[in-house]
Amino acid sequence: MIACVIHGAHELKIENRPEPPRPQDGEVLVRFGAGGICGSDLHYYHEGGILDFKIREPLVLAHEVAGEVVEIGPGVTKVSVRDRVAVNPLRSIFWECRPVSARSRHVCGIIHHLGRTVCGVAKIVVSTKRLGTRGGGILFRNAI
């Protein structure tokens, strides 16, 4: 599958990457529909990193994405195949982080950032906890 990969400052390449694994319990496979360019992507491109994170090996970019669910894992009831979704690039280890409410998970002290793992690819497997949905579907251009 095609991915946008940065190797260092000003070294951006389009590369083939392996297909993602099948979705596991509570996960879905999302096909890329649209993506945004985040401030961290710009820092990676212009400076080769952001804050204390420096690119030491190829990094797949574009973690702010919307797409279509193409496969669901066991136990998934929140979405169905062909649903359009927005993917939240932030993941708290404790989804029910206290005293952080559901509306402000982005301020949890224990967060993993999707962009430093894998994204910017044609398809990605994510937990349904990362998905934003809206009745009637999401226009990709409005979702990111």
Tens digits of per-residue pLDDT, 1-51?
A: 788 889 999 999 998 888 888 999 999 998 888 887 888 889 989 999 888
Strand partners, 66: 34, 86
Number of Cβ atoms within 10 Å of the Cβ of 135: 5
Which residue would you say has higher pLDDT here, 140 or 13? 13
* CATH number 3.60.10.10 given to 19-36+62-143: no
39-58 burial code (b ≥16 CB/10 A, e <16): ebbeebbeebbbeeeebeee
Among 30, 38, 37, 62, smallest CA distance to 133 is for 30
Strand partners, 112: 91
Identify the burial level of 67 via C-beta atoms within 10 angstroms of its C-beta, where 0-12 means exposed, 13-18 middle and 19 or more buried. Answer: buried
Tens digits of per-residue pLDDT, 47-100?
A: 998 888 888 988 887 677 888 999 999 999 989 999 998 887 765 544 445 545
